[in-house]
């Protein structure tokens, strides 16, 4: 198959361009973008599209740059493609923005392209990345440190309208196509000087790889394609878990519920943490595996705790949630923990509730009236002190009359208690961590009164709006 | 932290060794295995384990090999560790088995190690792979072509008892440890000569990577660890889908049900295909992405079809299943497809069923008795000819009285029809592919008789054991 048909098939199979669309080609004058312009020009009628070209003079290479712009203009003239050119002082911009020349050029180029796209009301921006670029990108990301997300490489179609029709074409195919058609191109001299690392990968590392395995480039390219499928699968599952389990408390604070967190695989847990951080910081720069690990450790802690991450981010564990925030966490996030002393009444102001305890001796004629908010337990079965607290991730109870334990989370789910209400339900537990009572919902088999019971503790819960 | 404590922590965190276990060290005499033996010897009391060492003379390097064996013996003597030595003509074995020397040495070594493990009734075999080996392995697999499964690299703990306590230790840490403790090691001269590719990676490629990114090695190592989590998540989900949807028809044939196949992500679909192939061929050697793609294409086909894959494997699509087989598929796999002509009775021998059609004119006094196996349809609404056939993956019907369409699969699930029975249920459809009737279960809204109906087709299904 010739290159034109190969690219046509790529465009159709991946729905890169629809009929009647306006497509702007990012046109540097180097071999890749010349080939892209040439092929899209040849396919114009078949695809039924309108073509434009945009060239940016980066003001990095003096006269060479003017020569490039001139060449781009003349080719567009020949093809009768509307040509837009702009010139920006990229070195100055780089200095101002404290960016590398490479980063600055990229930044300016895309800004201008999207500006032109809005003016022309265009649909797509075609960029000329090829298979060699893809493999270099994957290798660079790998050496710099990445996971699945980085290994999948660049996409053929982005939601912002960027398309890469040459992504599965090798550099040597591009050169062949141009030579066969007698089309000239400009040598981008920055290419050889500017980006030290990428050129080292291109000129040494990949050649070395191909000495070991002649098809190494295609193999790595195919790997990144298969990883794209895997990544999509995991990201989708992780995102839907995240969507259901997070709340934006304010613009600087995200709450991640832990009720279902530990039922999920580590792959999902870590992604939920990453998404939470990204919502607060708008970026994941500087966040490393070790940080994700420490958040997972924090989530597993019993009781409240917090850790500091880079970029002024603090992660708080409070009851059964994590809070990611760049500000002091407001205390109105509900959490309470009190000791219940014998024969006393305590006030839990957080939930406007009073709890009264009475210790009674059980004799033959012992009779008690109990109800949903008044329960009696065998006091001799209690280990140490008694506490009343808000729920914690992982809380379990042995429900009266049932075999085994049940997650408190599931008791709430079965009773259709909304997430927002769950922290307001008092949990009565002893010093060993055993739960006696999920107030209003469930009492424990372990503390029930039987023939052997000698001492009884009667607990009464009164809500102020009762 | 010193290396001893680092390795102790690794062993504990990953549960590599339990107290009282017997551990055999694969002991070549090179720096890695000397360091492993030395550290495990130092940790022996703390871990409460019993240590053994095994050395294999590969008979590749003549006198040098004897020198290595002698050195190994003397070190074990010093440490008072029971030492086992064996000698095998690996070059001869390689020639017989048509393997490379490298492959043959590995094969023999592991066979002997597992033999010794069974004799000693040992629990673990400790091998000395380190972080450098891991990174080389990941790079080699990547260049040769791999996906998630290969990128995760070697595991620290395998279910067959192999452990790799040094996997997160760098080569340079190993050398430092030995030098600091004045422990000698043997230089494995095969290392420099034998494995051309691995040495090219070790001696040139990784150095080049570290010139670009000084921490490239650790970054790639960390990537493979994070990919292990991702891979585990996907493989678990894919395996549970595969377990529920495949049947071993005979030792050479696997059936993969397609009922739920297309509800799954491509990542799961492709893995199910890989697992199916692996069950039949006991290997995935020679199976490439392009083969998986063509199986997915086959699954999407309407009607029966088949394709040939390497290693004499044929994949058949029949109704709503794929069959992977190295033999001719037996015809007793249920599938039928017949035309239903007007006013005729046909016999579907496959399911011992007769189907009779009668076309009637509907006048004012039109009355019909129908039942579960006798239904009437508006004949003018039928497109072209009528057919009766077994189900196909993706079959849908617009059920009478309901909005929208329903998958036939779900109708069967709701009615608790076992998988084995589903192919025996006749589906009546027209030439346009619209389904009129899932016999015994559901009729279509689209073909129902109403005030405008002029011609009626009455279809009666008689099963022989009725």
CA distance B446 to chain A (A): 33
Q: Tens digit of pLDDT for each residue in B165-213?
A: 999 999 999 999 999 999 999 886 655 444 678 888 888 899 999 998 9
pLDDT of residue A101: 84
| Residues of the binding site of A for ATP | 28-33
Residue B33 annotated as part of some ligand binding site: yes
- B345 falls within a domain: yes
Number of CB atoms found within 10 A of residue B258's CB:
22
Mark yes or no for CB contact A145/B223 under 8 Å. Answer: yes
Tell me whether A460 touches chain B (CB under 8 Å): no
- Per residue, what are the HEC states of chain A? CCHHHHHHHHHHHCCCCCCCCEEEEECCCCHHHHHHHHHHHHHHHHHCCEEEEEEEECCCCHHHHHHHHHHHHHHHHHHCCCEEEEECCHHHHHHHHCCCHHHHHHHHHHHHHHHHHHHHCCCEEECCCCHHHHHHHHHHHHHHCCCHHHHCCCCCECCCCEECCCCCCCHHHHHHHHHHCCCCCCCCHHHHHCCHHHHHHHHHHHHHHHHHCCCHHHHHHHHHHHHHHHHHHHHHHHHHHHHHHEEEEECCEEEEECCCHHHCCHHHHHHHHHHHHHHHHCCCCCCCHHHHHHHHHHHHCCCCEEEEECCCEEEEEECCEEEEECCCCCCCCCCCEEEECCCCEEEEHHHCEEEEEEEEECCCCCCCCCECCEEEEEHHHCCCCEEEECCCCCCEECECCCCCCEEHHHHHHHCCCCHHHHCCCCEEEECCCCEEEECCCEEEHHHCCCCCCCEEEEEEEEECCC
Kindly determine whether residue B219 and residue A147, on different chains, have CB atoms separated by under 8 Å: no
Question: Does A267 map to a domain?
Answer: yes
Q: How many CB pairs under 8 A join A and B?
A: 119
Residue B31 in marked binding region: yes
| B80 and B107 share one domain | yes
Mutate to test the interface with A, among B141, B203, B230 (most CBs of A within 10 A): B230
The per-residue pLDDT for A465 is: 66
- Contacts with A112 (C-beta within 8 Å, 6 or more apart), sequence order: A54, A56, A86, A88
Of A125, A37, A49, give the one whose Cα is nearest residue A75. A37
Contacts of B144 in chain A (CB under 8 A): 213, 216, 219
Q: Is B230 on the interface with A (CB under 8 A)?
A: yes
Residue B367 forms part of a structural domain: yes
**Residue A124 near residue A16 (C-beta atoms within 8 A):** yes
Phi, psi of B398 (to 5 degrees): -95, 100
* A308, A416: one domain: no
Length of chain A: 466
- Which residue of A140, A148, A208 is in closest CB contact with B200? A208
Contact B147 A223 (CB under 8 A): yes
**Looking at the domain assignment, is residue A30 inside a domain?**
yes
Same domain, A194 and A62: yes
Of B315, B307, B304, B375, nearest in space to B337 by CA: B304
Q: Which of B152, B205, B226 to mutate to test the interface with A (most CBs of A within 10 A)?
A: B226
DSSP B230-284: HHHHHHHHHHHHHHHHEEEEETTEEEEE-TTGGGS-HHHHHHHHHHHHHHHHS--
**Mutate which: A234, A237, A287, vs B, most B CBs within 10 A:** A234
**B366 has a pLDDT exceeding 80:** no
Out of A235-239, B274-278, B363-367, B429-433, least confident range? B363-367
Burial letters for A298-324: b for 16+ Cβ neighbours within 10 Å, e otherwise? bbeeeeeeeeebeeebbbbbbbbbbbb
Contact status of A263 with chain B (Cβ, < 8 Å) = no
- Bigger pLDDT: A1 or B349? B349
The answer to the question of residue B171 being in a domain is: yes
Query: Per-residue pLDDT for chain A (466 aa), expressed as one digit of tens each?
Result: 799 999 999 999 999 999 999 999 999 999 999 999 999 999 999 999 999 999 999 888 778 888 889 999 999 999 999 999 999 999 999 999 988 888 898 999 999 999 999 999 999 999 999 999 999 999 999 998 888 888 999 999 999 999 999 999 999 999 999 999 999 998 865 554 446 788 888 888 999 999 989 999 999 999 999 999 999 999 999 999 999 899 888 889 999 999 889 989 999 999 999 999 999 999 888 888 889 999 999 999 887 899 999 999 999 998 889 999 998 877 556 778 899 998 999 998 888 899 999 998 887 667 777 888 999 999 999 999 999 998 887 789 999 888 888 988 888 888 888 877 888 899 999 998 899 999 999 999 999 988 888 899 999 999 876 5
Domain co-membership, B176 together with B317: no
Q: Which domain holds residue A154?
A: 3-212
Which residues in chain B are contacts of A142 at CB distance < 8 A? 219-220, 223
Mean pLDDT value of segment B229-253:
91
Q: Is residue A217 part of a domain?
A: no
d(CA B273, CA B324): 9
B240 in reach of chain A (CB within 8 A): no
Is A222 in contact with B267 (Cβ distance < 8 A)?
A: no
Determine the distance in angstroms separating the CA of B150 from the nearest CA of chain A, rounded to an integer: 10
| CB spacing of A230 vs B230 below 8 angstroms | yes
CB pairs under 8 A, 24+ apart, for A323-327? A323/A249, A323/A253, A323/A254, A323/A255, A323/A256, A324/A253, A324/A254, A324/A256, A324/A276, A324/A277, A324/A279, A324/A280, A325/A249, A325/A252, A325/A253, A325/A254, A325/A280, A326/A252, A326/A253, A326/A280, A326/A281, A327/A252, A327/A253
Which residues in chain A are closer than 8 Å to B230, comparing Cβ atoms?
147-148, 230, 234, 267
Nearest chain B Cα distance for residue A266, angstroms? 6
Q: Are residues A205 and A76 in the same domain?
A: yes
Is residue A223 included in any domain, yes or no? no
pLDDT averaged over every residue in chain B: 90
Annotated binding residue at B165? Answer: no
Q: Which residue of B has its CA nearest to A146?
A: B223
Last residue of a domain, one of B325, B347, B377: B325
Considering only CB atoms, B289 lies closest to which of A212, A222, A270, namely A222
Say whether both A372 and A316 belong to one domain.
Answer: no
Q: Quick check: A146 contacting B, CB < 8 Å?
A: yes
Q: Does residue A219 sit at the B interface (CB-CB below 8 Å)?
A: yes
Residue B330: CA count within 13 A, CB half-sphere: 9
> What is the pTM assigned to this prediction?
0.75
Q: Pick from A148, A215, A292, A293 the residue to mutate for testing the B interface (most B CBs within 10 Å).
A: A148
Assess if residue B58 is contained within a domain: yes
Coil/strand/helix, residue B287: coil
Contact flag A268-B216 (C-beta cutoff 8 Å): no
CB-based contact (8 Å) between B363 and chain A? no
Shortest alpha-carbon distance between residue A267 and chain B (Å): 5
Q: End of a domain among B179, B212, B245?
A: B212
Note the pLDDT of residue A193.
46
Q: Looking at residue A318, which CATH number applies to its domain?
A: 3.30.465.60
With an 8 Å Cβ cutoff, are A265 and B236 in contact?
A: yes
pLDDT of B420 higher than 90 = no
Same domain, B128 and B159: yes
> Locate tokens 């989370």: which residue?
A409
Is residue B408 located within the same domain as residue B274?
A: no
CATH code, domain with B401? 3.50.40.10
Compute and round to an integer the Cα radius of gyration of chain B.
Answer: 32
The verdict on a CB contact (< 8 Å) between A197 and B215 is no
Cβ contact (<8 Å) for B222 and A148? Answer: no
Tell me the pLDDT tens digit for each residue of B253-296.
Answer: 999 999 889 989 999 999 999 999 999 999 888 888 889 999 99
B146 touches chain A (CB under 8 A): yes
Q: Based on the domain organization, do A207 and A90 belong to the same domain? A: yes
CA–chain centroid gap for A228, Å, is 15
Residues 273-312 of A with CB under 8 A from B: 289
List CB contacts (< 8 A) between B229 and chain A: 265-267, 270
Nearest chain A CA: its distance from B259 CA (Å):
20
Cα dihedral B106, B109, B115, B121 sign:
negative
Q: What is the pLDDT of residue A463?
A: 85
Residues listed for chain B:
466
B:176-205 residues touching chain A, CB 8 A cutoff = 197, 200-201, 204-205
My answer on whether B55 and B174 are in the same domain is yes
Q: Which residues of A touch B200 (CB under 8 A)?
A: 208, 211-212
Picking from B162, B182, B212, the residue at the C-terminal end of a domain is B212
**Residues A76 and A190 reside in one and the same domain:** yes
B139 CA: distance to closest CA in chain A (Å): 9
Domains in chain B: how many in total?
3
Q: Does B212 contact A204 at a Cβ distance shorter than 8 Å?
A: no
CA–CA separation, B455 and B466 (whole Å): 29
Rounded Cα distance, A423 and A425, in Å: 6
* B16 shares its domain with B102: yes
Instruction: Give B152-163 as a DSSP string.
Output: T---SB-TTSEE
Rounded to a whole number of angstroms, the distance from the CA of B382 to the nearest CA of chain A is: 34
CATH of the domain at B182: 3.40.50.620
> Residue B193's pLDDT is what?
46
Asked if B236's CB is within 8 angstroms of A234's CB, the reply is no
Can you tell me which residue has the tokens 């025996």? B424
Q: 3-state class of B300 per DSSP?
A: helix
What's the gap in Å between the CA of A416 and the closest CA on chain B? 26
């Amino acid at each position: 198959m010739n290159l034109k048909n190969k690219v046509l098939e790529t465009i159709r199979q991946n729905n890169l361009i629809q009929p009647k669309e306006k497509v702007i080609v990012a046109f540097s004058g180097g071999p890749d973008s010349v080939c892209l312009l040439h092929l899209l020009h040849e396919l114009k009628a078949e695809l039924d599209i309108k073509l434009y070209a945009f060239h940016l003079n980066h003001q990095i290479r003096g006269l060479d740059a003017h020569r490039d712009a001139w060449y781009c203009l003349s080719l567009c003239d020949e093809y009768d493609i509307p040509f837009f050119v702009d010139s920006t002082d990229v070195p100055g911009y780089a200095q101002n923005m404290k960016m590398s020349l490479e980063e600055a050029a990229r930044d300016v180029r895309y800004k201008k392209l999207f500006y032109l796209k809005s003016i022309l009301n265009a649909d797509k921006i075609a960029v000329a990345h090829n298979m060699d670029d893809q493999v270099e990108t994957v290798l660079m990301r790998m050496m710099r440190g990445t996971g699945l997300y980085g290994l999948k490489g660049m996409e053929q179609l982005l939601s912002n309208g960027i398309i890469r029709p040459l992504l599965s074409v090798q550099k040597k195919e591009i050169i062949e196509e141009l030579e066969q058609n007698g089309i000239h191109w400009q040598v981008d001299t920055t290419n050889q000087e500017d980006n030290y690392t990428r050129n080292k990968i291109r000129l040494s590392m990949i050649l070395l790889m191909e000495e070991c395995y002649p098809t190494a480039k295609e193999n790595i390219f195919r790997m990144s394609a298969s990883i794209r499928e895997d990544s999509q699968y995991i990201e989708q599952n992780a995102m839907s878990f995240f969507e259901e389990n997070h709340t934006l408390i304010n613009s600087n604070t995200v709450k991640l519920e832990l009720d279902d967190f530990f039922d999920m695989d580590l792959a999902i847990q870590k992604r939920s943490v990453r998404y939470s951080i990204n919502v607060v910081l708008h970026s994941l720069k500087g966040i490393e595996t070790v940080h994700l690990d420490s958040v997972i450790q924090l989530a597993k802690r019993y009781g409240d705790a917090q850790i500091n991450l880079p970029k002024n981010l603090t992660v708080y564990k409070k009851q059964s949630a994590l809070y990611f925030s760049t500000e002091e966490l407001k205390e109105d996030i509900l959490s309470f923990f009190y000791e219940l002393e014998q024969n006393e009444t305590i006030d839990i102001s957080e939930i406007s509730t009073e709890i009264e305890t009475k210790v009674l001796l059980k004799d033959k004629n012992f009779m008690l009236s109990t109800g949903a908010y008044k329960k009696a337990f065998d006091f001799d079965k209690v280990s140490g002190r008694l506490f009343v607290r808000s729920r914690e991730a992982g809380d379990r109870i042995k429900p009266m009359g049932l075999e085994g334990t049940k997650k408190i989370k599931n008791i709430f789910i079965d009773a259709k208690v909304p997430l927002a209400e769950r922290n307001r339900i008092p949990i009565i537990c002893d010093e060993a961590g055993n739960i006696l009572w999920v107030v209003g919902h469930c009492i424990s088999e372990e503390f029930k009164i039987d023939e052997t019971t000698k001492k009884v503790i009667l607990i009464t819960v009164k809500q102020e709006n009762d």
